[in-house]
Amino acid sequence: MSFDGLVVHSLVQELQACVGGRINKVHMPSGNDIVLQLRAQGSNVKLLLSANPTYPRVHVTEQTFTNPMEAPMFCMLLRKHCDGGVIESITQPGLERVIRLQIRQRDEIGDVSSKVIIIEIMGRHSNIILLDPATDTVIDGIHHVTPAISSYRIVMPGSRYTTPPEQHKHHPFHVDKERFITLLTQPHTTPAQEADVLKSLNEPVHPDPQAINEETWEQRLVTRFSGFSPLVAKELVYRTQYPLTVANTPEANAALLWEPFHVLIENLKLNGGDPHICEQPETSKQAFSIIELTHLHGEIKRYSSVSECLEAFYGDKAERDTVKQRVSDLLRFLQNERNKNAKKMEKLQETLEEGQEADKFRILGELLTSSMHLVQKGDKQIEVINYYDEEQRPIFITLDPLLTPSDNAQRYFKKYTKSKNSLIAVKEQLLQTQTEIHYLDSLLQQLGTASLSDIEEIREELIEQGYIRDRSKKTRKKKANQKPLLSCFTSSEGIPIYVGKNNTQNEYLTNRLAQSADTWLHTKDIPGSHVVIRSVQFGDATLHEAAQLAAYFSQAKSSSLVPVDFTMIKHVRKPSGAKPGFVIYDHQKTLFVTPNTDEIKQMPVSIK
């Protein structure tokens, strides 16, 4: 992963298509992300601005976002200053990982005002700042930086905007061969010191060999030139035809590096680079760049735009990361509950095995009754013929010397009755525990594929089922006939395929939305989503794609040849008193599919 200044440069060139576009809507689906809906060059565009500490980024997106019922304060502020505004310019200061959106808008009284949205892509220090350019004052930021956090720059309403600390690097677009060689072979200097370095070119230069060898060539590229990441620097060194060694003079090595460096810069000037993702099969790691990463030796996937490349790379990584943080307490609780039930199951199995000996007590009681005349009070045991044995072998029966012969016989009959009754109770508890484990497994699977919008529905379900307490201060009021939002995929034949991603959605989809002639799918004996094909007529392609979705949104997502059952909705029913999302079905057929993530991500999807 390398969201460096060169990627930002190519991205800003690409985003020039948004200049002149009007901002129709501003949304804030999470605490780190802003989505601007634009009308630019006759089409609708969604521009994602993210200050996610792990996945900061900016790009055009096709992703569907679910927004909170109440917009956060920063979102309301952006709407006030930017809604209806026109993007006048999108720029990048130097080759820094900073993007500035200049926006012109008419305020409430009709006066034209200008605002700037600054997106700083700097890892965990990333931020989105709304700025008044007339006074250089911060109106607000998506993340506040107080004096206690940083004394150098404060991001608070009313504070003066301070740019991120300068790194004093040279702009690679403004360097010729002579200067390039000088910069790489001389001790690191800032642009302010460059004049003194250039003056010294007319005098004999005797670089310190020790100082020259302290840095690798990758480090020299990164420390001297703005926008260069270690990944790009390593690629340039790899592209030299000869190894850069101490056997060469520093000037000779720098001259070798100039060729790939010059080719890269000229390519960026002309066409903005070659966005692609390189996946290394040995490590399953991915890296994206706007230059071909030949040193990684992996599978290359090229994209027509930087935005498309970034969206493919990040995918749902950021959302999955946010979901994991929000459901960590639920995951911990459900895993603990499952472990408790698994231990309970083991103990019940042991009790069941012990209960299988119930008939042994009955036989001993009957043998003792038939031999009552041979027993005296005070006997500790008696040997009798076992009439239930085919070979009629003798058997010893242990007696309680304090009991009469009749009481000893009754003692064995009571043990038989107790064991027999416990068997019935244990079998019932085993069935309940198995059902409980299946339910918990389904919830764990749902949390594994849940989106941000699904989490609250799962939490509500656990509260309703009595697993967790409602700790929120707000009174929860469910609207009458409130319908959950469902993911609706469109098959290659144009048929709608609905997917329920939690039990609330599964219940609504299967028991209320679907009609009797629709086709229902679910992984066979594996926790997963309910999938419904909303059509009476469809081809094999639609059936296969629906089965792919059922396998993908299940516990067997990473498996191959996953069994998927399908039947008509009229053959699916929920038993009385069953857990949410649990159904039984018949008249099913089974097909086997291997989930293909790429094919599923290419399927059109909407939220209905």
pLDDT value at 205 more than 50: no
User: What's the rounded Cα separation, in Å, for the pair 589 and 177?
Assistant: 70
Residue with tokens 């969604």: 46
For residue 390, what are the CA distances in angstroms to 48, 65, 358, 605?
82, 75, 20, 70
In angstroms, the CA 527 to CA 442 distance is 5
Q: How many CA atoms lie within 13 A of 326 on its CB side?
A: 20
- Global pTM value: 0.69
Tokens of 155: 């991001």
- Range with the poorest average pLDDT among 304-308, 353-357, 499-503: 353-357
pLDDT tens-digit map of 439-455: 999 999 988 888 777 88
pLDDT tens column, 35-93: 999 999 889 999 999 999 889 999 999 887 878 778 999 999 999 999 999 999 999 99
Residue range 4-42, pLDDT digits in tens: 999 999 999 999 999 999 999 999 988 899 999 999 988
Q: What's phi and psi for 519, nearest 5 deg?
A: -100, 130
pLDDT band at 242 (very low <50, low <70, confident <90, very high): confident
b/e sequence 390-413, b meaning 16+ C-beta within 10 Å: eeeeeeebebeeeeebeebbebbb
Specify whether the CB–CB gap between 232 and 289 falls below 8 A.
yes
Q: Which of 265, 261, 213, 215 is nearest to 237 (CA)?
A: 261
- Tokens 């820094």, located at residue: 96
Structure tokens of 190?
A: 């800032």
156-191 residue pLDDT tens? 999 999 998 878 889 999 999 999 999 998 876 655
Region at 315 (left for phi over 0; alpha for psi -120 to 50; beta for the rest): left
* pLDDT digit string, tens, across residues 504-518: 999 999 999 999 999
CB 411 within 8 A of CB 369: no
pLDDT exceeds 80 at position 195: no
What burial class does residue 474 get, using C-beta atoms within 10 Å of its C-beta: 0-12 exposed, 13-18 middle, 19+ buried?
exposed
